[in-house]
Structure 1
Amino acid sequence: MERFTGLVLRHRLLVTLIWLALTCAGALAATQVTDRLKEDFGPPGSAARDANEAIARQYGTGGAHTPLVPVVTLPAGQTVDSPAAKAAIGEAFGTAGRKLDARVVSYASTGDRRFVSPDGRTTFGLVFPHAEESADGAGDEGPDLGEPLRQALRSALPLGTAVQVTGMDGLADGAGGEGPSVLVETLVGGVGALVVLAFVFGSFLAVVPLAVAVVSILTSFLVVYGITGVTDVNFMVQFVVALIGLGVAVDYSLLLVTRWREERARGHRGEEAVRRAMATAGHAVLFSAVAVAIGLTAMLVVPVGFLRSVALGGMIIPMVSALATLTLLPVVLAAVGPRLDRPRLRTETEPSRAWTAWTRLVVRFRWAAVLVSTAVLACLAYAALGLNLGEAHSGAMAKSGPAYEGLAALQRGGVPSGVLTPVDLLVPPGTDPAGVAADLRSLPGVHAVAATDDGAWRRGGSALVTVLPADEGGTGAGKDTVKAVRAAVPPGVQVGGGTAADLDFTDKVYGTFPLMLGLIGLLTFVLLARAFRSLLLPLKAVLLNLLSLAAVLGATVLVWQHGHGSEQLWGVSATGSIAVFVPAMVFAFLYGLSMDYEVFILARMREEYDRTGSTEAAVVEGIGRTGRLVTSAALILFLAFASLAAAPIIEVKIFATGLGLGILLDATVVRALLVPAMVALLGRWNWWLPAWAAALLRVPPAADGRHRAGPAGADEDHMVPHALPDRSPR
């Protein structure tokens, strides 16, 4: 790192010009990259995806797209059994189908009483609008057709008939409105970061980490723009780069600037202070970036394209941020750092008194701290066992608007909400669709089955059959119904729909989850073993990370799936399930991001242990020096994720909430309580590194000849005196 820092400082003008050029190019790329991003979520090669793509190609309706569900309530005194009313309903749905170029089904076309409420006044239908097929075969949702459909139906129905239109897409759109753009969310997060940085530094240095973040984010967008020319990249990458980039880039800059100020407080000036900061904090930044990237490699082994593209985007931002921090930031600090470090309302002369006092208390009651914090995490992790993967329940979406009114009318008529998530079957030539429909009507959980001989349902010898489940696809019962349908259909019949796609996604992603855990655990262990020259510290870090991540999933289940907080914070009731991609993405991102704090803290503890030979002194000094930094960094990341939670899409809200809860849990319960207590509890065994392991890792073996372990769990402070504080002149 010493030679690297010297190289950077010798070519400071070239380094500055390169980053300036990359930033300008990145600003241009950021304005154009959105149009090149994709919205495809399905795993390639799955049965449901193949079925949905085949349905989209042959029929252009249904498949992966849920239908519009018009609800017709006749005036008092009239029922669907009256010939005039039934004819009017048939004419209305026929007119709607022609005007909207849609595939429709209703009571009039099937004669099935399951499309009618028990009192005969309310009936519903399914309208599958034509979707233009996109390059990936998924199709395009197109404009909102709810109001045109309602007007088309009303024009042919008796006076006084009430018509509402609902559907899962309409309910989702009504759940959050338009919401802020990525740019607005990033600006909100940036303002919050500036406030925190101003408090941390008490000087104009607060703008430096934000400047590095801007450079890192725009350069990352430039890299993403280039990747879109080679492979498909999911639209969520823009959120990842902008918001996670803001937090990570500021974190890395915060660490290096804080250490630079500390070196200046010890009397080092000019480039010497930069070199000394890079020799310590620079290594921590590098290891942290690699740890984040390792966490995201977990998604690269998953055979799902959108997760892989998000993983690539997530790996780009920490690596670019680390590169900017290790090259551009030293140049800035050497050139203008002292001038920006005014009015210096805060200094780095001594460790934080508050954090030092807190850590001494934790060390004193180490057993209690370990037991309490572990119990909290274990209780939250237990809640994760009730995780239900799937689409949010319709009742958790809109609380007002046309789609909500349509859902209320449907429920008042006694129609189960499962009809909002139908299952489309593609029946091949040579198989009787009527026979398939008849067999499926008797299955448990099936409310109705539609199989008409209309031209929109028959093409090229194939046919479509639509199954209407009683329970929504996101519920356990709804998924069981789809599984039963898959088991009951004849060979060659393809089962599509969103629920079937979610089931395939779950199998593809979480079937390889043990491989993911093993891969990232092994890579992280090796990386941290080299960084800390210890076998026990990296093992503890990996295990604690897994426990804290399980606790985060449990907290997400409690907040969203069970609704303990989602109603109060976002006005969204219990979703009943968590989107299938959320746990995998939360796990991959938090595993790496939480390693930031682990590296920051343990690297300082290792440094202090090498200086004093005392584990207890290393714990107190390490937390005293890094506690405020880690808390501030966590707060900045939390603000970024809170900004992301303002997005109108419920799945994005859940994802952002998981990240935010994870950062808070990690910075408080884990890093401020459990980690120092466990390190103090294990004493000198934290630093155990036998000669054979040191040789494999290619690091010097632990020099512990002068430090001897006391009784199990005791610290060695009674044998090694505490080092005196640094009193070098400023």
Structure 2
Amino acid sequence: MIGHCTRWATDRSRLVLGLALFLCVAAGLLGAGVKQDLLPGGFVVPSAESTRAQELLAERFGSGEPSVVIVVGTPAGADDPATRDRGTRLTADLAARPGVAQATSYWSLGGPASLRAGRGDSALLFVQLRGDESEVIDATRELMADYGTSYAGLPLSYGGRGPVSVETTDQTQRDLVRAELIIIPVTLIVLVLVFRGLVAATLPLLLGLLSIVGTLAVLRVLTWFTDVSVFAMNMTTGLGLGLGIDYSLFIISRFREELARGASPREAIGTTLRTAGRTVVFSAVTVILCLAAMLLFPMYFLRSFAYAGIAVVLLAMVAAITVLPAVLYLLGPRVDRWSLRRRAPRPVERGMWHRIATVVMRRPLPVATGVVVLLGLLAWPFLGIKVGFAGAQALPRDAGSHRVHDILADDYPSREAQSLTVVADRTGDPAGRRADVAGYAATLSRLPHVTRVDSLAGSYVDGAPLPGTEHAPTAARFAAPDATWLSVVPSVEPFTDDGRQLVRDVRATAAPFDVAVGGPSAQLEDAVDGLLAKLPWALGVIAVSLFGLLFLLTGSVVVPLKAFVLNLLSLSATFGSMVWIFQDGHLVAALGGFVVTGYIVVTMPIMIFCIAFGLSMDYEVFLLSRIKEEYDATGDNTAAVAHGLERTGSIVSAAALLVGIVFLSFLSSDVIFMKMLGLGLALAVLLDATVVRGALVPAFMRLAGRANWWAPGPLRRLHARFGLRESDPEPTVTPVPQPAGHR
């Protein structure tokens, strides 16, 4: 493959660039409207019990978790006759809207105290919308636009699932534009300093933009077949620029190195692609395997990041070994045009990274011990991690749905909008089983952290029926032919340990019929179970595939094991730091301010692990390929480590710095878990490129000595036949006349 790329880049360079331009324009036209088809959800497990409960509620009762929660201001009091009349008309008006399955309110339900604020200055109205997530978002936008901020003099504020989705989508798009305005100029400045030239510095950005445009087109096509998260666009920008920079750094640096040795542009391209180009391909495969592990998880939020990540890595890799070499071939020595004054290259033995490796390998045990202890201390807070869902609290405090969340938390302690729903299908005639329903509701109402249970048989508190509720007209909403449901109103927040324990208690309570338990805390419990069930498989896929790939690269079983353990150690430190910052609430002001929720969004650790592990292995491949090349040439393990680190250290550290800048731009986001994703990935990359590569790798490789390269006899023979080597000879390419300027 590398030989074909060399021939295409040199013999048909203008054709390659023409095709790339055509495909870029076509992809840009296709992907231009992708943001309209992306969705902000994807955190729930489609096959879980809580999802089944939600589907049954919608199908059999036209009810479920409210799509929109409206806080209706009542300056004259919720029970004022004029207010009651306007509230009743508003409820009826909403119920008659197309696409509305059900609308209920304080006034339509007979004035239950739980739907009136403690201060009496507001009351609640719930709207259940029909359709899938995309249809609910569109209907919510229309509803909010039509009714605005007041109805007949009553102030309106919107919260709940629909408004959170609308505001999250809008906020994400604003954040993405702001991040791009930060990334591109800052990255260009750093690239100029790294390459010490304007022409060479612009090439990584162009490669990254090609990857981003192509990936947006891929995401647009995927939306025709499956749900795709709106946050995949952030991943597309981050990884597209990051890997475009990474791969360009290695390709351009090797090309310039070959030109400096006196090679012609054609010879330099051939050598570059046989060495750095082959490593780029190998590195891209390792990143793709790590990202592909997210496809095993059931939430489309995680799967969307896998779709975007795999597409952008593939496109960055293909562009790096086809488009970039064609550009470099046409530029030739002019790649250094408009360059700053460059320092003369130092001998390898006098380089900074060579000196660092030498110092570390003189005392490898104390260095390794100290660094491991430091990373262990950073990882310690991770033992206390708590998880939850991204809801209104992920948005800024001034977002409308966040304000409604705070009002519900402060003025409505019964958590009415966060109730558990217990749905029973195929029960027979519900009216004939009223006694069974009453007994079951009474039992559930005795559970800890239950405020009230509403059912067909009435409402129950602490095992006793509330007088007058057993025959209330509103009790009829809990009945359908051959089905019934109960609402368990909690006294605790859903995304807490007590909220999750309540789910387990409800599910453990004996019921007179088969039930499915849903609601926010049940969805979280099912999400955690779903992630934990797939996590061993994802880890297994990553471990086995990367072990095999690194074995093919190094011929060793020790080096892949060492790489896996060190990556786990550095990622544990990253996770601990994220818990300390975002869950425990440290450095809030320094990071631009955010709401401390007391938990980590449940999908974030999985996502950061897969992406950061892939990027870490990306740098591991570049380092090991150079170390192995030196070791094969000299047989000296210590010298090979020092020389390999010197050859790649400055490039890897520059790449990590640039990727870190890209991800740190996510800190400008006003969505809290995007801040966490950006900081987590930046910290993981920078830790890996400095502490791990600069200290732990040389220390452990010095301690292991020649055992680094050990493998059992059968595996050695396997590697001798199928192993990958950066310096494998390639067929000589027949010279062709050079374009003008290539002298």
> Normalising by structure 2, what TM-score?
0.83
CA contact (8 A) 1:115 1:123 kept: no
- Structure 1 residues 55 and 145: CA distance shift in structure 2, 3 A: farther
String of CA shifts for 1:254-295, please: whole Å, max 9, x gaps.
111111122222232321122222222112101110000110
Which stretch has the larger CA shift, 230-239 or 549-558?
A: 230-239
CA contact (8 A) 1:472 1:478 kept: yes
CA–CA separation in structure 1 for the residues paired with 2:227 and 2:390: 27
String of CA shifts for 1:505-527, please: whole Å, max 9, x gaps.
22122212112111210110010
One of 367, 384, 387 as aligned partner of 2:385: 387
- The Cα of 1:321 is off from its aligned counterpart by 0.9
Q: Give the fraction of aligned pairs with identical amino acids, expressed as a percent.
A: 32
Q: Given the alignment of the two structures, is residue 205 of structure 1 paired with residue 226 of structure 2, yes or no? A: no
- The Cα of 1:48 is off from its aligned counterpart by 1.4
Question: What pairs with 1:355-370 in structure 2 (closer than 5 Å)?
Answer: 355-370=353-368
CA–CA separation in structure 1 for the residues paired with 2:258 and 2:702: 27
Q: Where does residue 288 of structure 1 map in the other structure?
A: 283
- The Cα of 1:531 is off from its aligned counterpart by 0.9
- Structure 1 residues 10 and 664: CA distance shift in structure 2, 3 A: same
Question: What pairs with 1:302-701 in structure 2 (closer than 5 Å)?
Answer: 302-342=297-337, 343-346=339-342, 349-350=345-346, 351=348, 353-391=351-389, 398-400=396-398, 415-416=412-413, 418-428=415-425, 430-431=429-430, 432=434, 437-451=441-455, 453-454=473-474, 457=477, 460-461=480-481, 462=483, 465-488=486-509, 490-699=512-721
CA–CA separation in structure 1 for the residues paired with 2:89 and 2:441: 26
CA contact (8 A) 2:591 2:667 kept: no
- Structure 1 residues 322 and 442: CA distance shift in structure 2, 3 A: same
CA contact (8 A) 1:450 1:467 kept: yes
2:664 is matched by which residue type in structure 1?
A
- Structure 1 residues 186 and 74: CA distance shift in structure 2, 3 A: same
Aligned length: 687
Structure 1 counterpart SS, 2:243? helix
Which stretch has the larger CA shift, 108-117 or 571-580?
A: 108-117
- The Cα of 1:396 is off from its aligned counterpart by 7.2
Question: What pairs with 1:40-119 in structure 2 (closer than 5 Å)?
Answer: 40-41=41-42, 42-58=44-60, 60-63=62-65, 65=67, 67-70=69-72, 85=79, 90-91=84-85, 93-101=87-95, 103-106=103-106, 109=109, 113=113
CA–CA separation in structure 2 for the residues paired with 1:396 and 1:234: 16
2:128 is matched by which residue type in structure 1?
H
Q: Where does the alignment leave 5 or more consecutive residues of structure 2 unmatched?
A: 96-101, 456-471, 726-742
- The Cα of 1:407 is off from its aligned counterpart by 5.8
Q: Where does the alignment leave 5 or more consecutive residues of structure 1 unmatched?
A: 156-161, 704-729
Structure 2 counterpart SS, 1:67? strand
Q: Where does residue 11 of structure 2 map in the other structure?
A: 10
Q: Where does residue 712 of structure 1 map in the other structure?
A: none
CA contact (8 A) 1:286 1:322 kept: yes
CA contact (8 A) 1:422 1:497 kept: yes
Which stretch has the larger CA shift, 48-57 or 199-208?
A: 48-57
- Structure 1 residues 407 and 691: CA distance shift in structure 2, 3 A: closer
- Structure 1 residues 305 and 613: CA distance shift in structure 2, 3 A: same
Structure 2 counterpart SS, 1:52? helix
Structure 2 counterpart SS, 1:454? helix
- Structure 1 residues 557 and 146: CA distance shift in structure 2, 3 A: farther
CA RMSD, 1 decimal: 3.5
- Structure 1 residues 164 and 580: CA distance shift in structure 2, 3 A: same
- Structure 1 residues 104 and 576: CA distance shift in structure 2, 3 A: same
CA–CA separation in structure 2 for the residues paired with 1:613 and 1:406: 67
- The Cα of 1:554 is off from its aligned counterpart by 1.8
- The Cα of 1:336 is off from its aligned counterpart by 0.5
Structure 1 counterpart SS, 2:104? strand
1:498 is matched by which residue type in structure 2?
P
> Normalising by structure 1, what TM-score?
0.84
- Structure 1 residues 2 and 302: CA distance shift in structure 2, 3 A: closer
Structure 2 counterpart SS, 1:178? helix
String of CA shifts for 1:36-78, please: whole Å, max 9, x gaps.
3344513222121122233334555542746345576777xxx
- The Cα of 1:173 is off from its aligned counterpart by 8.0
CA contact (8 A) 2:558 2:708 kept: yes
CA contact (8 A) 2:396 2:595 kept: no
2:125 is matched by which residue type in structure 1?
V
2:663 is matched by which residue type in structure 1?
F
One of 182, 193, 209 as aligned partner of 1:188: 182
CA contact (8 A) 2:421 2:487 kept: yes
